[in-house]
Amino acid sequence: MPQMIFVNLPVKDLEASKAFWTKLGYSFNPQFTDENAACLVFSDTIFAMLLTEPYFKTFTAKEIADAATATEALICLSADSREAVDALVDAALAAGGSPAGETQDMGFMYGRGFEDVDHHHWEVMWMDAEAAAQGG
């Protein structure tokens, strides 16, 4: 069985976060979605658990980072092409997200970033694996 990953992220407004990701074409697993959490599906093995801040706090004794003022993590999603990178980031911006960082264009690798409605930093990258294996 392939290993799975669940990225757990605190959110201020669960419904707003769900609406944002739905506008980008993603879905949620209803089995793990309720008034405290939503299971955002990226693939059969990759998920983001969007947890209301009070519920998130039940899993840690530490303070929750304010993603609007501090970097908590950089989460990167792969894309099938440069055009797919642009399409996803443009959709995120249209859905209420904001730009994050500069466009990265190294020829064999291309990426752009955005912040979601809770200011979590997402990078979207495309890479020509064959060119990268040959040194770019």
Domains located in the chain, CATH noted: 1-60 (3.10.180.10), 70-136 (3.10.180.10)
pLDDT at 127 over 90: yes
Per-residue pLDDT of 12-22, as tens digits, reads 999 999 999 99
**For position 133, what pLDDT does the model report?**
72
**For position 84, what pLDDT does the model report?**
97
Look up residue 94 and give its amino acid: A
Looking at the chain, the whole-number percentage of residues with pLDDT higher than 90 is 88
Other beta carbons within 10 angstroms of residue 7's beta carbon come to 14
End-to-end CA distance of the chain: 33
Structure tokens at 44: 């059969």
Rounded to whole angstroms, how far apart are CA atoms 7 and 78? 15
Strand order in the sheet with 46-52: 5-11, 46-52, 37-41, 27-29
Per-residue pLDDT of 69-121, as tens digits, reads 998 899 999 999 999 999 999 999 999 999 999 999 999 999 999 999 999 99
Rounded to whole angstroms, how far apart are CA atoms 9 and 104? 25
**For position 136, what pLDDT does the model report?**
61
